[in-house]
Amino acid sequence: MNRKQIIELDKKYIWHPYTEMQNYIENTHPVVAVRAEGFYIYDADGTRYMDGNGSWWTSIVGHNHPTLMQAIVERTRQMVNCSFAGTTHEPAVQLAANLLPRCGKTFSKIFFSDDGSTAVEVAIRMAYQYWQNVGKSTKNRFVTLSGAFHGETTGCASISGVEVFHTALANLLFDRIVMPSPAQLADATVEDATWYVDAFGKATEILTRQKDEIAAIIVEPLVQGAAGMLMYPPEYLSELHRLCRELDILLICDEVFTGYGRTGAFLAQHQANIEADIVCLAKGFSGGELPMAATITNNRVFDAFLGSAEKTLWYGHSFTGNPLGCAVANATLKVFDDEQLIENLPTKMTAIDNGLKRLAKHPWVRAPRQTGIVSAFTLMDPEGGDVASYLNQAGWKFYEEARKRGALLRPLGNVVYFALPLTVTVKQIEALVDVCEQSVHAAFS
Ligand SMILES: Cc1ncc(COP(=O)(O)O)c(C=O)c1O
């Protein structure tokens, strides 16, 4: 098929995620991806794009990393899939034994699933049923941060707060308790390291008052991704962890985005020296190459499910524990070791910091922010419009300009962000910043 035919059939048959389809069919010129390598995605028309968003934050070691590709080829020669109940296999146990100690001393069990949403759905089920199994069934509600995003199953949507995604579902979703986000707003003009203190005060009030009805708190540690790359310091997380212990509330860290080195440590919670009760992993977990995820937990939670049918976690999916996914996840950890990805991050973080400083000179750029290798800035829309809105068009104006210059930087409303692979080079970061600088000028000068 040539490029034109692909687009014609796409517009005839396909319903894309997070897409207003009428506008898409009438106005969008999609990238037709034919190949990907490292930091780049290639269009059928020959254009090479920098993958600035890391393909929805999944690409952690770059596209088609040879170690991952080799693992896939080797595994396909033996067995690509089999069910995972009453069956086990080497890639799964190897992965568990390799991964759990990296996550922390208390993590002892891993439950596999398919993507970030299922990893969170598993966490919801574990936390909810845990309290039933230990005879405290009044503890049945979930607490989340305002603006949280934890995925798209109905359970995940219920505990998420990016309103535009879920307004139409309001009557379908279960009720949650919302605590103020400890992160500074996306248009904050002054960096304030103590911003989180008020949010923690409010958290203490809510949790102390309602502890007997709360099963768990779920947080995106250090960076609230979909909310607009809103960032908060590890102090909030360590204080929250302490409070959860005191009040007997489970802490779930959704590290679907922040895990695998993005914040400068293997897990973001390591920056706060804590170990949550339940942790959700996906995206970078399989090197961003295959749908594969995991929910990990400790013996306290696991042991409560032992010994009877009533206590069992009756949950799973057709592809739970998929051997190919496990093989790729194992290979991803190998790349972390072979290439010392976390140890080598500081120079890349400095390059991003320098880039943000350059960008911040433009009058329409606000709140440059960075945690590890995750970074973002907010575009003030010269035409007005709600600054923190997902539907603000400023980001899309920027997107079109960046695309013309060879970078894919799909915005979150008016927030532009980088979710780069840990294998990115300083030169590639500089090239991406150059594109951003030119695109901001072209869009807003
Ligand atoms: C923190 C967080 N949790 C869960 C999810 C859902 O992951 P998935 O899109 O793989 O279902 C996302 C997706 O962006 C996320 O950022």
CA distance 63 to 40: 7
The Cα 88–Cα 427 span in angstroms is 44
Q: What integer pLDDT is reported at residue 389 of this predicted model? A: 63
Where do runs of H (alpha helix) occur along 14-115? 21-27, 54-57, 66-78, 90-103
With residue 224 as reference, give the H or E element that holds it: strand 223-224
**Distance of CA 144 from the midpoint of ligand 1 (Å):** 15
Q: Is the CB of 195 under 6 A from ligand 1?
A: no
- Classified as helix, coil or strand, 118 is helix
C-beta of residue 407 within 8 angstroms of C-beta of residue 49: yes
Asked whether the domain spanning 68-338 has the same topology as the one spanning 31-61+341-444, the reply is no
pLDDT attached to residue 309: 97
CA of 309 to the centre of ligand 1 (A): 31
* C-alpha–C-alpha distance, residues 33 and 198, integer Å: 46
In sequence order, what are the beta bridge partners of 320? none
Sign (positive/negative) of CA torsion 53, 159, 287, 342?
positive
Which residues are CB-contacts of 44 (< 8 A; sequence separation ≥ 6)? 2, 3, 6, 32, 33, 34
- Tell me what pLDDT residue 184 has: 78
What is the 3-state composition of the chain as percent helix, strand, coil, each rounded to the nearest 5? 40, 15, 40
Six token digits for residue 386: 């709600």
For a pocket test of ligand 1, which of 150, 158, 218, 390 has the largest count of ligand atoms closer than 8 A to its C-beta? 150
Q: What is the pLDDT of residue 35?
A: 97
Measured in angstroms, how far is the CA atom of residue 384 from the centroid of ligand 1? 30
State which fold the 31-61+341-444 domain adopts: Aspartate Aminotransferase, domain 1 (3.90.1150)
Q: Which atom of ligand 1 is nearest to the CA of 282?
A: 10
Q: How far is CA 301 from CA 144, 216, 241, 249, 384, in A?
A: 20, 12, 16, 12, 49
Is residue 120 within 6 Å of ligand 1 at its C-beta? yes
Closest Cα to atom 16 of ligand 1: 257
pLDDT at 165: 75
pLDDT at 386: 55
Span 214-224, pLDDT tens digits: 999 999 999 99
Comparing CA positions, the residue from 264, 262, 294, 289 lying closest to residue 279 is 294
> What distance in Å separates the CA atoms of residue 41 and residue 63, rounded to the nearest whole number?
8
Between the CA of 146 and the centroid of ligand 1 the distance, in Å, is 16
Our CA dihedral for 279, 54, 152, 227, rounded to 10 degrees, sits at 80
Domain boundaries, the chain: 31-61+341-444, 68-338
The strand pair at 177-179 and 141-145 is best described as parallel
d(CA 268, CA 220): 9
Whether 226 is in the pocket of ligand 1, judged by its Cβ within 6 Å, is yes
Q: Which atom of ligand 1 is nearest to the CA of 226?
A: 16
* pLDDT single digits (tens) 280-307: 999 999 999 999 999 999 999 999 999 9
Please indicate whether residue 294, judged by its CB atom, sits closer than 6 Å to ligand 1: no
DSSP code for 295: E
81: Cβ–Cβ under 8 A, 6 or more apart, which residues?
319, 322, 323, 324
114 lines ligand 1 (CB under 6 A): no
Does ligand 1 lie within 6 Å of residue 341's CB atom?
no
Query: From atom 10 of ligand 1, which residue's Cα is the shortest distance away?
Result: 116
Q: Is the dihedral of CA 285, 436, 404, 47 positive or negative?
A: negative
Binding site membership of 288 for ligand 1 (Cβ less than 6 Å)? no
What is the whole-number distance in angstroms between the Cα of residue 282 and the centre of ligand 1? 8
Best CA proximity match to 280, nearest among 300, 245, 311, 250: 250
Residue 63 CA from chain centroid, whole number: 17
Instruction: Check residue 38 and report its DSSP letter.
Output: B
Predicted pLDDT at 409:
98
d(CA 315, CA 135): 20
Count Cβ atoms below 10 Å from residue 276 Cβ, excluding itself. 32
59: nearest Cα among 51, 48, 67: 51
What's the pLDDT score for residue 384?
63
Q: Which pLDDT does position 161 carry in this prediction?
A: 86
For ligand 1, the distance from its centroid to the CA atom of residue 283, given in whole angstroms, is 8
Task: Identify the segments of the chain with pLDDT beneath 70.
Answer: 187-191, 193, 382-390
Q: What's the confidence (pLDDT) of residue 248?
A: 98
Give the type of residue at 315.
Y
Please give the distance of CA 72 from its chain centroid, rounded to a whole number: 24
Q: What is the CATH number of domain 68-338?
A: 3.40.640.10
CB 410 within 8 A of CB 399: yes
